[in-house]
Amino acid sequence: MSTQSVIGAERDAPGLAAAAPAARPSLDPGLLYAAAGWLAAGTITLFWPNTKEFAHTSDFGVGQWLFAALLVVGYLFSGRLGAVSRWLANNALRLLALAALLTIWQLASAKLGYWPQPYFPPPQGVLDAYVKDYPRLLDSIRASLVLLVAGVALGSFAGFLTGLSTGWSPKVGYWTIPVLRLFGPVPATSLIPIVVFVFPSSFSGGIFLVALAAWFPVAILTWSGVSSVDNSYYDVARTLGARQRFLLLKIAVPASLPHLFVGLFMALGSAISVLVVAEMMGVKAGLGYYLDWAQGWAAYGHLYGALIIMSVLFSSLITLLFRVRDRVLVGRKGEVQW
The DSSP annotation for 207-227 comes to HHHHHHHHHHHHHHHHHHHHH
Segment 40-55, tens digit of pLDDT:
999 999 999 999 999 9
| Whether residues 87 and 152 fall in one domain | no
pLDDT: which is higher, 118 or 235: 118
pLDDT at 221 over 50: yes
Segment 89-124, tens digit of pLDDT:
889 999 999 999 999 999 999 999 999 988 999 999
| Whether residues 91 and 138 fall in one domain | no
Q: Do 287 and 306 meet the contact criterion of CB atoms below 8 Å apart? A: yes
Helix (H) or strand (E) holding 33: helix 30-47
Out of 61, 86, 111, pick the residue that ends a domain: 111
| Whether residues 212 and 273 fall in one domain | yes
Mean pLDDT of 171-186: 90
pLDDT at residue 72, rounded to an integer: 92
pLDDT at residue 20, rounded to an integer: 45
Q: Of the candidates 233, 226, 193, 232, which has an alpha carbon nearest to the alpha carbon of residue 209?
A: 193
Evaluate whether residue 236 is within a structural domain: yes
Share of the chain above pLDDT 70, in %: 89
- CB count in 10 Å sphere of residue 60: 24
Evaluate whether residue 101 is within a structural domain: yes
Angle (nearest 5°) at CA 114 between 110 and 120: 60
Angle (nearest 5°) at CA 191 between 185 and 193: 160
| Whether residues 192 and 90 fall in one domain | no
User: Quick one: pLDDT band at residue 70, thresholds 50, 70, 90?
Assistant: very high
- CB count in 10 Å sphere of residue 21: 5
Q: Do 129 and 187 meet the contact criterion of CB atoms below 8 Å apart? A: no
Domain range for 29 is 25-111
User: Quick one: pLDDT band at residue 337, thresholds 50, 70, 90?
Assistant: low
pLDDT at residue 39, rounded to an integer: 96
pLDDT at 64 over 90: yes
Evaluate whether residue 36 is within a structural domain: yes
pLDDT at residue 336, rounded to an integer: 60
Who contacts 37 (Cβ-Cβ below 8 Å, separation ≥6)? 68, 95, 96, 99, 100
pLDDT at residue 3, rounded to an integer: 45
pTM across the whole model: 0.81
The verdict on whether omega for the bond into residue 118 sits within 30 degrees of 0, i.e. cis, is: yes
| Whether residues 205 and 326 fall in one domain | yes
| Whether residues 172 and 203 fall in one domain | yes
| Whether residues 47 and 147 fall in one domain | no
Evaluate whether residue 139 is within a structural domain: yes
Evaluate whether residue 64 is within a structural domain: yes
- CB count in 10 Å sphere of residue 116: 8
Helix (H) or strand (E) holding 187: none
Q: Do 179 and 189 meet the contact criterion of CB atoms below 8 Å apart? A: no
Evaluate whether residue 335 is within a structural domain: no
Mean pLDDT of 318-323: 89
Q: How far is CA 7 from the centre of its chain?
A: 60
Evaluate whether residue 186 is within a structural domain: yes
| Whether residues 184 and 312 fall in one domain | yes
Chain mean pLDDT for the chain: 86
Out of 58, 83, 111, pick the residue that ends a domain: 111
| Whether residues 193 and 81 fall in one domain | no
User: Quick one: pLDDT band at residue 214, thresholds 50, 70, 90?
Assistant: very high
| Whether residues 190 and 98 fall in one domain | no
Segment 147-178, tens digit of pLDDT:
999 999 999 999 999 999 998 888 999 999 99
pLDDT at 27 over 80: no
| Whether residues 192 and 300 fall in one domain | yes
pLDDT at 10 over 50: no
pLDDT at residue 335, rounded to an integer: 59
Evaluate whether residue 8 is within a structural domain: no
Out of 52, 81, 111, pick the residue that ends a domain: 111
Q: Do 295 and 303 meet the contact criterion of CB atoms below 8 Å apart? A: yes
| Whether residues 101 and 175 fall in one domain | no
Mean pLDDT of 283-310: 90
- CB count in 10 Å sphere of residue 59: 14
Q: How many domains does the chain have?
A: 2
Query: The domain spanning residue 194 has which CATH number?
Result: 1.10.3720.10
